[in-house]
Amino acid sequence: MTEGFRGIIQTMGLGNLKPNIVVMRYPEIWRRENLTEIPSTFVGIINDCITANKAVVIIKGLDEWPNEYQRQYGTIDLYWIVRDGGLMLLLSQLLLTKESFESCKIQLFCIAEEDSDAEALKADVKKFLYDLRMQAEVIVVTMKSWDIRSEGNSKEDSLEAFDAAQRRISDYLGEIKSQGSTPRLANGKAMVVNEQQVEKFLYTMLKLNSTILSYSRMAAVVLVSLPPPPLNHPAYFYMEYMDLLVENVPRMLIVRGYHRDVVTLFT
């Protein structure tokens, strides 16, 4: 499948008329069906898209996606973590043109590291949206004030998934150590696992998932930036990170732009 996809992505299009977005379904059943080849295929496709400078949109909850007769109410929530050329903003506007989402409002969540950055960030984003003539409510979430010990169902749900992911990764590392040989990554390099870095990635996904569940549990659809696969991390670990990110979110678009502006003052 990986080789076939590489062939498609290099040859698709006619002259200058070439697709610039790859859309695929999130493999939700990979663990339940024990499809062990899925992580390496999934990560390989994302890396190939990045190399080919294609945007990526991954759909989670495709089976629950509404048809044209199922009108949605509430909000379309965007978690704008990485500047991606405005692809996430453009997708939210395109959703509003569909009958099923036309009654929804857009909420744009920005992630600030410090409490002191919140107001300045909110003002900058509001000015940016005003210049683009886009209507959206801007909400700034501060990661510094996020408390893992605070009460709430969203944090309990996320923590349960976090603990399960930690156990599976620990078991995976234990199996590797028991084999005695150094495993290889897909690119042929020896796999050197930095366990502190793995823990940091898991914890970041835990915070983001619990934030999404706190603010967007009832949203019609959630859009979030796609984290690129980290170097020197096994594909299996990346799937654990992604599973933690999408946990208990029924409909989600995970978006990575190709760092060219698709939304400007003139569009």
Q: In 10 A of CB 160, how many CB atoms?
A: 12
189 SS3 class: coil
pTM of the full structure = 0.87
Residue 73 has pLDDT above 80, yes or no: yes
Starting from the edge strand earliest in sequence, which strands make up the sheet with 105-112, in order? Answer: 21-25, 55-60, 252-256, 221-225, 75-80, 105-112, 137-142
pLDDT the model gives residue 244: 94
Mean pLDDT (whole number) for 242-260? 90
pLDDT the model gives residue 186: 63
Q: In 10 A of CB 27, how many CB atoms?
A: 18
Residue 148 has pLDDT above 80, yes or no: no
Mean pLDDT (whole number) for 194-223? 90
Give me the chain's average pLDDT, please: 85
pLDDT the model gives residue 149: 45
Residue 24 has pLDDT above 50, yes or no: yes
